[in-house]
Amino acid sequence: MGWLHRRGLQQLVAETPLTRSVLDQEPSALAACGVQALALDFDGVLAPHAADQPLPEVTDWLRRAVVVFGAERVCILSNRPYGPRVEWFAVHFPGVRFVSGVRKKPYPDGLIKTGELASVPLSSILMVDDRLLTGCLSALLAGARPCYIRNPFRSYQHHPVKELFFMLLRWAERCFVLLP
Ligand SMILES: [Mg+2]
């Protein structure tokens, strides 16, 4: 499916600034563009890989997102929806749900469930993800809006091997979708 949708993914790469992180996507500005709900990837988007909680500046951003959209319309759609991060959200953002019990991205199931949980059309959901062939592709397959995080949070200090692996994986994904 990544191959079939590579034109859409190419366009996404072309129009995304190299510096794009979740923090330059102000929730009020997203809402003004017709976004009604957020599906947020965790690793790379809210924090470095395998972190237990979002970075402090992202936590502030999440608070603004909850004010704008309502907690029930902010969902975490991670392929790792378990562990201390789930408990952290239950304490700090009790209304924000992890979408689980669905086939992993790039299957569109998680976004379809997000649409049901948030009671909004799929076309109004913004899937924020640092991976082209998981989250961004799932948004294209579901008819949702992809937001490609080109400058993900990384911590080479904590997980040098994993972060290097994911850096290479993201680079390989871009090479794949940019094939003619
Ligand atoms: Mg990620």
Round to whole Å and give the CA distance between 41 and 126: 11
Residue 2: pLDDT above 90?
no
pLDDT tens per residue across span 65-85: 999 999 999 999 999 999 999
Q: For 6-177, which CATH class?
A: alpha beta
C-alpha 68/C-alpha 49 separation (Å) is: 27
Give the whole-angstrom CA distance, residue 147 versus residue 155. 22
Centre of ligand 1 from the C-alpha of residue 20, in Å: 14
Q: What share of the chain has pLDDT > 70, as a percent?
A: 100
Q: Is the predicted pLDDT of residue 61 greater than 90, yes or no? A: yes
Q: Average pLDDT for residues 10-14, to the nearest whole number?
A: 96
What spacing in Å lies between the alpha carbon of 13 and ligand 1's midpoint?
A: 16
Q: Using the predicted structure, report yes or no on whether residue 180 has a pLDDT greater than 90.
A: no
42-55 mean pLDDT: 96
Q: With bands split at pLDDT 50, 70 and 90, how would you rate the model's confidence at 3?
A: confident
131 CA → ligand 1 middle, Å: 6
Residue-wise pLDDT tens digits, 111-157: 999 999 999 999 999 999 999 999 999 999 999 999 999 999 999 98
The ranges assigned to domains in the chain are: 6-177
User: Across the chain, what does the average pLDDT equal?
Assistant: 96
Give me the mean pLDDT over the 59-66 stretch. Answer: 98
> What is the distance between the alpha carbons of residues 126 and 129, in angstroms, rounded to a whole number?
9
- How far apart, in whole angstroms, are the C-alpha atoms of residue 104 and residue 36? 23
In the reported structure, the alpha carbon of residue 134 is separated from the centroid of ligand 1 by a whole-number distance in angstroms of 9
Tens-place pLDDT, residues 83-104: 999 999 999 999 999 999 999 9
- Beta-carbon contacts of 40 under 8 Å, excluding residues fewer than 6 positions away, are 22, 46, 74, 75, 76, 77, 128
Task: Please tell me which residue, 141 or 50, carries the higher pLDDT value.
Answer: 141
